[in-house]
A and B are shown apart, each in its own frame.
Chain A
């Protein structure tokens, strides 16, 4: 079974700082990769996804993620965070042509104004 590791449990930043959240997965085959975000008091929603093609994917709100197959990684980045980016971020993976989405433990990001 695949597993997903998120390196940081809690990240605290100031506004305008750059953000990078690490995500590694363990699965030897082809995968589909996702980042989901949960803003305070809201439901989980999709931030971005990678199925195939350009390994650098862009999502909503200025976020991007890079798939590095050789490193089994799918790190999330944002060049300049805003206070409104305060949220919990989850990396998720599923083998291609599978239905089960496995999530990491999540990273809480706190952005100080």
Chain B
């Protein structure tokens, strides 16, 4: 596609339920990032993929969070047993080779998660 696509754009769930957020990066981009944006906060790094591998998962807030990437393309961020503090906008970004290349991350429009 022309840009990074994320779905769903909006998700309301009940505390304790599991959610899956999907990201379709720009075709050919090998590097993929997940960030979390909470109200009044900056963007919080969650995880980075190079191809299908995640060399850095250090930003995942807890073991309730996991992410995978298949075929060097689509990525899924899964949050198990959601809590109210998980409410945020989850942003996905991709780049051709990584920040050492062009240095530009291309962002999707985000998935807004609300946990009631």
Using a CB–CB cutoff of 8 Å, the interface residues on chain A facing chain B are 4, 6, 9, 32, 34, 36, 42-46, 49, 51, 90, 92, 94, 96-106
Restricting to B86-100, which residues have a CB under 8 Å from any CB of A?
Answer: 91, 93, 98-100
Cβ contacts under 8 Å, B14 to chain A: none
Contact: A32 with B99, CB < 8 Å? Answer: yes
Q: Is the CB of A43 within 8 A of B108?
A: yes
The answer to whether A99 and B56 touch across the interface, beta carbons within 8 angstroms, is: yes
B45 adjacent to A105 (CB under 8 Å): no
How far, in Å, is A108 (CB) from chain B's closest CB?
10
Contacts of B35 in A (CB 8 A): 103
- Inter-subunit contact B41/A100 (CB<8 Å): no
A6→B3 CA distance, assembly (Å) = 28
CB of B103 within 8 Å of the partner chain = yes
- In chain B between 72 and 116, which residues have their CB closer than 8 angstroms to a CB of chain A? 91, 93, 98-100, 103-105, 107-110
Contacts of A46 in B (CB 8 A): 104-105
Considering only CB atoms, which chain A residue lies closest to B59 in the complex?
A100
Q: In the complex, A6 Cα to B50 Cα: how many Å?
A: 29
Interchain CA distance A96-B107 in the complex, whole Å? 21
**A97 touching B100 by the CB < 8 A rule?**
yes
Contacts of A98 in B (CB 8 A): 99-100
Contacts of A44 in B (CB 8 A): 91, 93, 105, 107
**Once the chains are docked, how many angstroms separate the CA of A6 from the CA of B56?**
26
B32-61 Cβ-contact flags toward A at 8 Å (1 or 0)? 010100001111010010100001100000
Closest CB pairs A-B (n = 6): A103-B43, A44-B107, A105-B42, A103-B42, A43-B107, A43-B109
Residue of A nearest to B50 (CB): A99
B103 in complex: contacting residue of A4, A51, A102, A105, CB < 8 Å: A51
Q: Does B31 contact A (CB under 8 A)?
A: yes
Chain A, Cβ-Cβ closest to B4 = A43
| Contact present for B42 and A100 (CB under 8 Å) | no
A34 and B31 CA atoms in complex are apart in Å by 18
Query: In the assembly, what is the distance between CA of A99 and CA of B105, in Å?
Result: 11
Question: Are the C-beta atoms of A90 and B31 separated by less than 8 Å?
Answer: no
